[in-house]
Amino acid sequence: MIELDKVSYGYGGAPILGDVSLQLTPGSFHFLTGPSGAGKTTLLKLCYGALTAQQGRVSIFDQDVRDMSRDEVALTRRRVGVVHQDQQFLDHLSLADNVALPLTVSGRPVDDGEVRDLLAWVGLSNQKASRPPELSGGERQRAALARAIIMSPEVVLADEPTGNVDWEMSIRLLQLMVELNRMGKTIMIATHDLNLIRSAKAQVQARVLRISGHQVQLAGADL
Amino acid sequence: MSERVNPFALIAGDKHADRVVPPSGFTARLTIFTAAAMAFLAVFALALSLATGRIAAEWDAALAQSSTVRIAAPEGQVEAQVSAVMGVLVTTPGVAEATVLTDAEQQALLEPWFGPDLPLDTLPLPRLVTITETPQGYDSAGLRARLAGEAPGAVLDDHTRWREPLVKAADRLRLFGLVSLALIAATTAAIITLAASAALAANAQVIGVLRLVGARDSYIARAFVRRYTLRALAGAAAGSLVGMVAIFLIPSKEMTGGFLTVPGFAGFEWLLPLVIPPLAAIAAFLATRRAAFSTLRERP
């Protein structure tokens, strides 16, 4: 589904990732952990084509990212839902319009009922007319998740989705991710919250990957 | 990468796509004002160019079909030389009509310069014969040679030395008008490009979100291009309308006693300013499209 083969990436000559190999198989659940600045966001961006590997090969749905045109990258992103670290929204649109944005840009008809159901699923039924700046951090995270899955993507990549929310909300978001995984979606969550990972392991069979020394390693029983 | 922005889709619009770009801002007002101001100037440049063209044509027509023979002879030989000149002219192919100016007509010609009390009979003025040519014209070199033989005091002035610089000057003015129009179009495109680039830079986050959720470059570009094209069209329409009203209100050549050549339109020429708004929209479309794709290519 998404495969990284001996991928290296760095900024300004300083390596962040070196010789990283990784495979996200359909229906799998991965956590990606490591200290701040270790390269979690970089790795996720490589996985949805926002960055191109400086060395090695990244393939998304069996297509090499380097061979993709910009249009093909755009079309690929419709199959990969991304929950961004800083929950980017269009502040002049309502929450419902923001959640429906992937449908809008792909030219698909916007089904108000579908948007309403999705907002209810993430517990934001009462905020559908609100503008993003009016929402709390947790509400924005859940809205970002709703937007990421409205196209029914095969893969959901979440970058620190619980970074700005309290523990109760973190667990709620985690449960939503677990539900998605049970629906067959491939999930990868980048987080440095080990308690969240421990909570998840009780609910889902998740692999935990740790970035350390520019490498990605499978974390052991220490978690 | 598909870089097409379908003009028909652009006109039809997409209510969802139109909403993804924040609706207002400084660049919006700048685009409308620039398009209006440039269209206003374009109307004037067009009117000036067309009026100059008409003047050039009038001068050319007025001077091309007429010429003058000036007879300056010693006293006692004037009438004989006038008769000789007329004898030559009536037998010259290409001369439709030749008329000796009367004293009163000569007085009328000189009156603007010397006043009404000019004592013509005391001045050694040459006699003038006006010639009206046939459309085919005459052989001026041959006529000069015959006049030199029959009337040594006669000098043929076929107005060439007046006509050519006047027509050349009018043609240059018309060219300057057209160059001005081209410069106005280029300046409009440049300013709208800057405005669109500024808008794209100011909306970096919007573009980032759209790319994140799978928008193609053509979709993002269309949202910006449509907005700027329509703004340029609206601004240019307003500017052209104001320009046309201003031209309409300028006193006509007749009202200024013929002394002042004013820019203006005649007949069907009033339709020409209507072309300016669509041209401004096309310039805005091309400029914004180029700016949009150039900006988008720099983003992941």
Give B31-90 pLDDT, tens digit per residue. Answer: 888 889 989 998 988 888 888 878 777 777 777 778 889 998 887 888 889 999 999 999
Interface size between A and B, measured as CB pairs under 8 A:
67
Residues of B in contact with A76 (CB under 8 A): 214
Residue B245 has pLDDT above 50, yes or no: yes
A67 close to B (CB below 8 A): no
Residues in chain A within 8 Å Cβ distance of B213 = 77-78, 101-102, 105, 147
Of B208, B219, B297, the CB nearest to A105: B219
Q: Is residue A111 within 8 angstroms of chain B, CB to CB? A: no
Q: What is the pLDDT, as a whole number, of residue B72?
A: 87
* Per-residue pLDDT at A26 exceeds 90: yes
Give me the residue from B214, B217, B218 closest to A77, CB to CB. B214
Q: Does A168 fall in a domain?
A: yes
What is the number of residues in chain B? 300
For A147-157, the pLDDT digits (tens) are: 998 988 999 99
ipTM score for this prediction: 0.85
Mean pLDDT value across residues B271-298? 88
Arithmetic mean of pLDDT, A12-27: 90
- Number of domains comprising chain A: 1
Q: Is residue A35 part of a domain?
A: yes
Mean pLDDT, residues B251-255: 68
Rounded to a whole number, what is the distance in Å from the CA of B234 to chain A's nearest CA?
24
- Residue position matching structure tokens 């297509």: A63
Are B215 and A90 within 8 A, CB to CB?
Answer: no
Would A108 be classed as within a structural domain? Answer: yes
Question: Which residues in chain A have their CB less than 8 angstroms from residue B216's CB?
Answer: 70-71, 74-75, 105
Question: Which positions in chain B touch A140 (Cβ < 8 Å)?
Answer: none
At residue B59, the pLDDT reads 74
Q: Using an 8 Å CB-CB cutoff, list residues of chain B that contact chain A.
A: 1-2, 16-17, 19-20, 22-23, 205-206, 208-219, 296-297, 300
* pLDDT value of position B54: 80
A151 interfacial to chain B (CB closer than 8 Å)? yes
pLDDT bracket for residue B1 (50, 70, 90): very low
Return the ∠ at Cα B41 (arms to B35 and B45), rounded to 5°: 135
Show residues of chain B in contact with A105, CB under 8 Å. Answer: 17, 20, 210, 213-216, 219
A106 touches chain B (CB under 8 A): yes
Tell whether A171 is within 8 A of chain B (Cβ): no
Residue A6 falls inside a structural domain: yes
pLDDT, mean of residues A118-146: 89
Say whether B17 and A51 touch across the interface (CB within 8 A). Answer: no
- Residues in A touching B16 (Cβ below 8 Å): 104, 110
Instruction: Answer yes or no: do B23 and A92 touch at CB < 8 A.
Output: yes
Could you tell me how far CA A158 lies from the centroid of its own chain?
2
Mutate to test the interface with A, among B213, B216, B227 (most CBs of A within 10 A): B213
- Distance (Å, rounded) from C-alpha B219 to C-alpha A105? 7
Residue A220: pLDDT above 70?
Answer: no
Whole-number pLDDT of residue A208: 92
B223, closest residue in chain A (CA to CA): A105
Q: Between A50, A71, A89, which is nearest B209 by CB?
A: A89
Per-residue pLDDT tens digits for B158-211? 877 677 787 788 778 878 888 888 888 888 888 878 887 887 888 888 888 898
Output the six-digit token pair for B222: 């269309």
B300–A51 C-beta distance less than 8 A: yes
Q: Provide the chain A residues 124-143 that lie in CB contact (below 8 A) with chain B.
A: none
* Closest Cβ–Cβ partner in A51, A88, A102 for B214: A102
Tokens 């300083």 map to which residue? A14
Give the range of the structural domain holding residue A89, as residue numbers without chain letter: 2-218
Contact check, Cβ <8 Å, B20/A89? no
- Comparing B16 with A14, the larger pLDDT belongs to A14
The CATH number of whichever domain residue A121 belongs to comes to 3.40.50.300
Q: In the sheet where A55-60 sits, what is the strand order?
A: A14-24, A2-11, A55-60, A63-64
Evaluate whether residue A23 is within a structural domain: yes
A157-193 pLDDT per residue, tens:
999 888 777 888 888 888 888 988 999 999 999 998 8
| pLDDT 10s digits, A45-99 | 999 998 999 999 999 999 999 999 999 999 999 999 999 877 689 999 999 999 9
Contacts of B78 (CB under 8 A, 6+ apart): B71, B127, B153
Share of chain A above pLDDT 90, in %: 52
User: Would residue A94 count as lying in a domain?
Assistant: yes
Q: What would the pLDDT profile of B94-150 be if each residue is shown by its tens digit?
A: 888 889 988 888 778 777 777 777 676 677 788 899 998 888 888 888 888 998 888
A223 part of a folded domain: no
Cβ of A110 and B20 within 8 Å? no
Please list every residue in chain B whose beta carbon sits closer than 8 Å to the beta carbon of residue A101.
20, 209-210, 213
